[in-house]
Each structure stands twice: as structure tokens, then as C-alpha cells.
Amino acid sequence: MLVFTFGDTFPAAASAECVRLSGSQIGQLPLVVDLAGQRVKFTEWKATDITATELIGFTAQAPTDFHFTVEAGGSKFPATANWLHPAGVVGPQVRPIRALTICAN
């Protein structure tokens, strides 16, 4: 399931090594984040159902040395540029993405 919305580029502060996305940023397409002189472009968000109210995964184009941390349901999960909730797509353990942190190594 994909969610399509229009978004903006979210620049990071020049000295920042990490950028945190939350709120209305989660689910935006296109979503481009500038970090450490490079760009991360989100190309897909995965949802639990057709209403796309709960996003449980994403695909992004990012430098290979960048890493992601996903906050979902009070838990934090290490992630790559292609992430799906480790508990799957349905069930009581699957919680939506609340925040996402991207860091340059």
C-alpha cells in the first residue's frame, strides 16, 4: 500500500549529524531530507490498510553509510533505507511509525 502526498525538502542544520522526522512529515511523498551534504529521498510509505492511517514501513534512496531508527509503538527499531515493521503488517504487535531518525555515519 502506498501513500502519496506532496512534500517539501527538509534541510538539516549545517552541523547536524542526524535529522528527526515526525508528525506530518511521516507519509509525505516526495520527501527529501538534506543531511551531511547528501540527500535522502523517500519513495514509498507502506500502510496497514487502504485508509493509510497507520504507516508501518518505507523505502528511501539513501547513502549506504546512513542509518535509520524508527520509533513505533513506544519501541525503537534499527532500520535500513527499506524497512517494514518487524512484527509484520497486521496484528496487535504492529504499531505505526511515530518518528524516524536518520543519521550520517
Query: Does a structural domain hold residue 16?
Result: yes
Query: Does a structural domain hold residue 15?
Result: yes
Spatial strand order in the sheet of 66-72: 18-22, 97-104, 66-72, 75-79
- In the chain, the number of structural domains is 1
Query: Does a structural domain hold residue 20?
Result: yes
Long-range contacts of 10-17 (CB under 8 A, 24+ apart): 10/34, 12/36, 17/103, 17/104
**Domain with 73 in it:** 9-104
- How many helices (H) and strands (E) in the chain? 0, 9
Query: Within its chain, how far is the Cα of 50 from the centroid?
Result: 19
Q: Is the pTM of this model over 0.85?
A: no
Q: Quick: pLDDT tens for 25-66.
A: 999 998 999 999 999 999 999 998 777 779 999 999 999 999
